[in-house]
Amino acid sequence: MNPMKVLLRNPRRELEVSGHRRVNSLLDELALNRESHLVIRNGTLVPGDADIADDDTVEIRPVISGGS
């Protein structure tokens, strides 16, 4: 099994995370607010209590826009 790939944006960067956990735990570990991010697992949106594990590709997409 390969570690989970976690893609972060703004700026774009990639992390590798091993082991199974819930989406919300991953956000907490990365100190990211749930209200300002969406989590997309293998191309599909998932809720905070979804499980993510090795071999998954997870995008954590910020949703906050800054302009006027």
Partner 1 sequence: MVASGSKCRVCRGPAIIDLPRHNANFCAEHFLELCRRQVTKAIEHFAMFEPGDRILVAVSGGKDSLAVWDLLIDLGYQADGLYIGLGIGDYSEASAVYAREFATARGLRLVEVSLREEYGYDIPTASRATRRVPSSSCGLSKRHLIDKAAIDGGYDVVVTGHNLDDEAAVLFGNKLRWEIEYLARQLPVLPARDGFPRKVKPLVRLTERETAAWCVVRGIDYLVEECPMAAGNKHLAYKAALNAIEADSPGSKASFYLNFIERMAPLLAAERAVGVESVGTCRECGAPTTGEVCAFCRLVEKAGAHERVPVELVVGRWGKR
Q: Contacts with partner 1 in 29-68 (CB under 8 A)?
A: 33-38, 40, 44-51, 53, 61-68
Per the CB < 8 A criterion, the answer to whether 17 and 4 are in contact is yes
* CA dist list (Å): 7 to 23, 57, 62: 13, 8, 11
Instruction: Tell the smallest beta-carbon distance from residue 51 to partner 1 (Å).
Output: 4
Per the CB < 8 A criterion, the answer to whether 56 and 68 are in contact is no
Q: Which of 9, 16, 29, 30 binds partner 1 (CB under 8 A)?
A: 9
Instruction: Assess 66 for contact with ligand SF4 (CB under 6 A).
Output: yes
Instruction: Assess 17 for contact with partner 1 (CB under 8 A).
Output: no
